[in-house]
Amino acid sequence: MKLRNIWLPASLVTAVLISIGLSGMMWTNPAHSNLSSRTKVTKNSDSSSNTTFQDIYLPSQLISTSNSGKQELLTNSRVNVATDLRDRMSHFTAEKAQTISHGNAKKYLAQLKHKGTILMNYNSAISVNFFRKAFNNQIKIPNQKFNRMQLMLNDPSHLYLLNDQGYRVVRVALKHNKTKLRNSTTNSMVKHPVTFRLLNGKIILDYPQSVKLRTYSYQLTQQTQDYYANRIMTTNANSNVQIKRHKNSTDYDDHGFRHMTVDKKTDTVNFTDYNSQVKSSSFLQTMNHVYEQLVMVGIPLDSVRFYDYDPSSDTAVFRTYAGGLPVFDQSNFGAIQMKVLDQSSYRMRFSLDSLQIPVPPVQSSATIMSTSDLLKQLKAAGIKVNKVQDIELGYEWSRDRSLAKVVNLSPTWYVKIGNQWENYRKLLGQE
């Protein structure tokens, strides 16, 4: 009797709830909003987005310290060592972290030289949340900044996070990590002896002996400016893109949110988007946003990797990498430079050139002098050592003289002076 009385109101209520639920789903689902037509255009044809977030944000430098204390930079022409290590670290879980040293340069250097370890380095600090995403692991510790990760060969239950800024060392206790990293993983690699030292308060990698490095040659792949104009300037179907041609550059303007300038002299693009929301200003969110924009623009990312991020100017730099070392001189900013202007806009500068297809080099290798020799030469040329902000081994990008469309990458020293990376030969006045 009761049931009969109740079924009508009950089913009516259910029907009302279902309709509310359905309409709610339709409203909240972004795919149904009118805005979707804009995002769809850009998503269709990412033909070259074989490079994932995890790939582009791989740590750029690997250093092993043997049980006897010998430190070596690891590179390998066959295997990408960093991806290998990343895959091993993907199951890491942790909840406890403890700061064991802070503000002490001596202790910090000692930690960097800790025996039986593998160090993975970034050029600038990353956050724990970022680390979790880039390495796909489950490390849940209070969010903090660090730029080096140290794996213990003999102690699989601990991981050290190091930050050059403030010389902070944090020990993370890993849960259920039993598998030891074996030295065999590093046996087949090309190794160059290195050591850490302080230069003007900055930790630098010191090469005590001259090093023999591989040279590379690549076929130059050059995207046309039309490709980018089509991809990023024609997304708003209602507006007309105004094109202004100048002697050395071309301007594209959509009378709305996007502006693009192609510099024909340097083959670089300067792209500004005033309508691009960043959800929050956390490091991970920013980097995620940057990656999404790189994919949206459609820049070939084959050998491009994250180089550094400057929080004071909100600028991320990506460089082409060869054999584990960054390439300089591609343009005056690297391969891609992305500057977040505010919550809703950014400016991206990138090179039309990219390196995708390697070709046999003329010489297979070149020898580079040691760090101390470099400092001596700089000193002899009248450059004050205390003005040197950083030094790094890198590849010099130069066009081949006899073969058109071929770029040679030869290893050389780069010195950072006045916030600008310069080839040491230029500083010595040899160029």
Partner 1 sequence: MNFKRIQLIFLAIFIAMDVFLFLAYNRNSVGDSTAAGSNNILEEMRKDQITYSKPTTQKYEGYYFSGNNGDALRQAAPNLQQQSIRFSGDELVSEFKKPLKITSGSAKQTLDKIVANPGLVAEGKHYSYSKQLSSSSEIIYVQRVEQKPVYSHFCQIRFDLDSQHRVVGYSQNYLEGVKILKEAAKTISDERALTWLYQYNEIPNGAKVTWVHLAYTRLLTARGQYVFLPTWVFAVKINNSSSVILKRVNAYTGEVIKTGENNQTSNANSEIFTLT
Return residues touching partner 1 (CB under 8 A): 8-9, 11-12, 15-16, 18-19, 22-23, 25-26, 29, 31-32, 36, 40, 43-44, 47-48, 50, 76-80, 216-217, 219, 302-303, 323, 356-360, 362, 364, 403, 406
Q: How far apart are CB 87 and partner 1 at their closest, in Å?
A: 12
Cβ closest to partner 1, residue 222 vs residue 364? 364
Q: How far apart are CB 84 and partner 1 at their closest, in Å?
A: 10
Q: How far apart are CB 414 and partner 1 at their closest, in Å?
A: 22
Cβ closest to partner 1, residue 6 vs residue 105? 6
Q: How far apart are CB 19 and partner 1 at their closest, in Å?
A: 5
Cβ closest to partner 1, residue 185 vs residue 250? 185
Q: How far apart are CB 45 and partner 1 at their closest, in Å?
A: 10
Cβ closest to partner 1, residue 77 vs residue 430? 77
Q: Which of 43, 21, 33, 13 is nearest to 296 (CA)?
A: 43
Cβ closest to partner 1, residue 49 vs residue 282? 49
Cβ closest to partner 1, residue 21 vs residue 69? 21
Positive or negative torsion for Cα 44, 48, 51, 56: negative
Q: Which of 98, 97, 135, 143 is nearest to 283 (CA)?
A: 143
Give φ, ψ of 42 to 5 degrees: -75, -20
Q: How far apart are CB 214 and partner 1 at their closest, in Å?
A: 10
Q: How far apart are CB 147 and partner 1 at their closest, in Å?
A: 24
Q: Tell the residue number behind the tokens 């050592």, with chain if given.
A: 385
Cβ closest to partner 1, residue 87 vs residue 342? 87
User: What is d(CA 364, CA 216) in angstroms, rounded to the nearest whole number?
Assistant: 8
Q: How far apart are CB 343 and partner 1 at their closest, in Å?
A: 28
User: What is d(CA 33, CA 117) in angstroms, rounded to the nearest whole number?
Assistant: 52
Cβ closest to partner 1, residue 306 vs residue 424? 306
